[in-house]
Amino acid sequence: MPGARWCRTMNEMTGEEIADLLNRCWMTHDGMWFFHCYKAFGIEKASELNKAAIRSLAPMEIERMKKSLGMEKPNIENEGELQDFFGAVSRLFIPDFMAIKITFPKENTLRWDFEPGNCFAFKGMKRIGAIDGYECGVIYRLRCWLDCLGLKYRLSPQIERCLMFEDGNCSGVFEFDFSGS
């Protein structure tokens, strides 16, 4: 039938479907950028450039997040505010396909857990043959966000390489110090 509709419009998509599509496209772009840096310059330089890009992007991301959420205060001052912030932004920036779970298991503690063997970055780096030298950009991005939010924290374990590559699991904690807030 001429003129029959063969696709949905954006208005017919849910917010979650839109966020998932945009995140998948963004992560694919990010992965292809990393892949071409890796091929052109090697894993050490690609990781260095990746971390530089993450560090320079984080302040802009955080400001946009704060503005979108109507966050008027310059800093997060307690665990409740941190949980509210992460609850709101995780729906946009940490979609289900990333297979990461973020919880607050005890006071002033944020915990992350990837499903064993199922980190999107781990799988991508493995696919391109760079996993043995990959420096984790995922947790580095979280660290940069926390730094931009002005939070004091201790990270455990310390991460240099991909934890999932090293022992098949990736999990850890950020322990926050809100005493100076």
Residue 5 lies in a domain: no
Q: How many domains does the chain have?
A: 1
Q: Is residue 7 part of a domain?
A: no
pLDDT at 175: 97
The pLDDT assigned to 2 comes to: 60
User: Is residue 44 over pLDDT 90?
Assistant: yes
**Cα–Cα distance for residue pair 126/165, rounded to 1 Å:** 9
Supply the DSSP symbol for 13. Answer: S
Residue 57, domain member (yes or no) = yes
pLDDT at 1: 52
Domain range enclosing 101: 15-176
2, part of any domain: no
Query: For residue 67, what are its two tokens?
Result: 């503005």
pLDDT band of residue 3 (cuts 50, 70, 90) is: low
Tell me the C-alpha distance between 139 and 93, whole Å: 13
Structure-model confidence comparison of residues 11 and 39, the more confident one: 39
Whether residue 53 is contained in a domain is answered as yes
pTM of the predicted model as reported, rounded to 2 decimal places: 0.88
**What is the distance in angstroms between the CA of the first residue and the CA of the last residue of the chain?**
65
Give the CATH number of the domain where residue 80 resides: 3.30.1380
